[in-house]
């Protein structure tokens, strides 16, 4: 790989609500990208599956019609925006790879509009109102990084954010920042009792990735209440945020409003932190082989 860029860059995190109309959501995302670019963002990340409402609340084969090829319509729109505004864009999409084969995929567009590559979500959840295993084949590309115009970035998606292995393997490839496009929220009947601790756990685990790897971490979540005719719905809790290499939250959005966060990241800060917290130096790689096992009986 080429040397990691060391100059500061500005990230833009787009937190928005989604309507049932994919075309409307694509246009809204385009407007938000323009707004983020105008505010000075250089690397702009959209939330998970921004073209639709979160359809995994139920198992319905008809919803596979929401998927699209990559490259396709959405990447064409994003590539044009990237080139027009000289920005990098991370766009999370429902990928139709072949008949009967679908992925939860992030496309990475460089500032010249070129698609640098894709990341396919590796960890697929299966929980009440999060029936993703019905829709998505687990990713088969591994954990990756891309050298963009402004810095080397890693991208993982939502449920991936709970697994330290993915963050570590991405950071070990020299990423300056980890982006997590996300769709996470509260079950209405659980919010009062469990809501605060769920949100705190979500932020804490990602801040821990920043600390353990001495790296910037950005989580980009959707916002708003989404409900169908036959489900209780989900209240997406927003709270998109950026953490620095010591896990300090540099910017954070609200839980109930559309917002665009723009903040600078300085890769040189990573070096400063890692010199004082040399976790990579002290890793005992000669004793971690058992991590590839499911369980130690």
- The span from the CA of 183 to the CA of 104, in Å, is 12
Q: Write out pLDDT tens, residues 160-184.
A: 999 999 999 999 999 999 999 999 9
CA distance 63 to 78: 23
175-215 tens-digit pLDDT: 999 999 999 999 999 999 999 999 999 999 999 999 999 99
* Active-site option among 45, 121, 235, 265: 121
Is 4's pLDDT higher than 80? no
Where do the structural domains in the chain lie, given as residue ranges?
9-281
Q: Is 83 helix (H, G, I), strand (E, B) or coil?
A: helix
| DSSP secondary structure letter of residue 149 | S
- The mean pLDDT value for 225-238 works out to 92
**What's the pLDDT at 232?**
86
Active site residue 158: yes
pTM of the model: 0.96
Q: How many other C-beta atoms lie within 10 A of the C-beta of residue 59?
A: 10
Task: Based on the residue annotation, tell me whether 48 is a catalytic residue of this protein.
Answer: yes
Q: Is pLDDT at 2 greater than 60 in this prediction? A: no
pLDDT of res. 228:
85
- Phi, psi values for residue 277, rounded to 5°: -120, 80
**Distance, CA of 199 to CA of 204 (rounded, Å):** 9
Task: Kindly name the residue from 18, 56, 158, 265 that is annotated as catalytic.
Answer: 158
Helix axes 22-38, 73-85, angle to 10 degrees: 20
Token output for 177 = 């920042």
What's the pLDDT tens digit per position in 19-63?
Answer: 999 999 999 999 999 999 999 999 999 999 999 999 999 999 999
Please say if the pLDDT value at position 6 is more than 90.
no
The Cα–Cα gap between 246 and 272 comes to: 10
In sequence order, what are the beta bridge partners of 130? Answer: 127
CATH number, span 9-281: 3.60.110.10
Structure-token pair, residue 235 = 């209240």
3-state SS assignment for residue 106: strand
Q: Is the peptide bond before 71 cis (omega within 30 degrees of 0)?
A: yes
**Annotated catalytic residue: which of 18, 32, 45, 48?**
48
C-alpha distances out from residue 11 to 44, 64, 254, 284, Å:
6, 32, 18, 33
Strand partners, 194: none
């Amino acid at each position: 790989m080429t040397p990691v860029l060391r100059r500061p860059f500005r990230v833009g995190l787009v937190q928005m609500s989604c309507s049932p109309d994919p075309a409307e959501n694509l246009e809204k995302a385009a407007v938000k990208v323009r707004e983020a670019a105008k505010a000075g963002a250089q690397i702009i990340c959209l939330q998970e599956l921004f073209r639709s409402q979160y359809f995994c609340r139920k198992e319905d084969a008809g919803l596979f019609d929401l998927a699209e090829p990559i490259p396709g319509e959405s990447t064409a729109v994003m590539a044009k925006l990237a080139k027009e505004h000289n920005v990098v864009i991370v766009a999370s999409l429902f990928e139709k790879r072949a008949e009967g084969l679908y992925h939860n995929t992030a496309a990475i567009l460089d500032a010249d509009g070129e698609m640098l590559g894709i990341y396919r979500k590796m960890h697929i959840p299966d929980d009440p109102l999060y029936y993703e295993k019905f829709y998505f084949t687990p990713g088969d590309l591994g954990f990756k990084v891309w050298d963009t115009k402004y810095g080397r970035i890693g991208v993982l998606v939502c449920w991936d954010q709970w697994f330290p292995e993915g963050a570590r393997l991405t950071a070990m490839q020299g990423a300056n920042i980890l982006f997590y496009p996300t769709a996470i929220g509260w079950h209405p009947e659980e919010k009062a009792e469990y809501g605060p601790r769920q949100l705190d756990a979500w932020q804490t685990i990602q801040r821990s990735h920043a600390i353990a790897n001495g790296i910037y971490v950005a989580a980009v979540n959707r916002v708003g209440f989404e409900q169908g005719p036959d489900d209780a719905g989900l209240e997406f809790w927003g709270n998109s945020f950026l953490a620095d290499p010591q896990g300090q939250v540099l910017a954070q959005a609200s839980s109930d409003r559309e917002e665009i966060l723009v903040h600078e990241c300085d890769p040189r800060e990573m070096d400063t932190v890692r010199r004082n917290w040399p976790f990579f130096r002290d890793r005992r790689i000669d004793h971690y082989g058992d991590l590839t096992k499911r369980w130690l009986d």
